[in-house]
Amino acid sequence: MDDEFENAIQKIKTKTSSNERDRLYELIGLLILFGGAVLALISYFVAGSQNSGNVAIDNLEHNEHIILAIFGVALSVVGGFIYLRFSIGRFLRFWLLRQIHENNKSAGN
């Protein structure tokens, strides 16, 4: 039965199109997560550094940067979910294979 388990793992590893695609999506999710955080931080600091003396213009410019910062936070959340989905998905695939193997092994005894 152990040989069957190792063969099943090798079959999963040889299906490179699925694994490579999952790794690509995982990397894209990580990049979106960090990109959104950088965007939010840059928007925050730019909004704080602008002072023209005119309160109406300053408020309008601050609102634009606040909207951009909120968009950056939203991007970070979406990127985090994408990263989590594909990294946990890869882990659960091997976990499920191990569970099936253990159930078959205990049923055979």
Where along the chain do its domains lie? 2-108
Q: Are 47 and 108 in contact (CB under 8 A)?
A: no
Higher per-residue confidence, 47 vs 83: 83
In the chain, how long is the greatest CA-to-CA distance? 82
Of all residues in the chain, what percent carry a pLDDT higher than 70? Answer: 83
The CA-atom distances, in angstroms, between 31 and each of 22, 28, 64, 90 are 14, 5, 24, 18
In whole angstroms, give the CA distance from residue 8 to residue 88: 19
Give the count of beta carbons closer than 10 Å to the beta carbon of residue 87: 16
pTM to 2 decimals? 0.70
Amino acid at 48: G
Query: pLDDT tens digit string along 36-49?
Result: 999 999 998 888 77
Residue with tokens 């300053």: 58
Higher per-residue confidence, 4 vs 42: 42
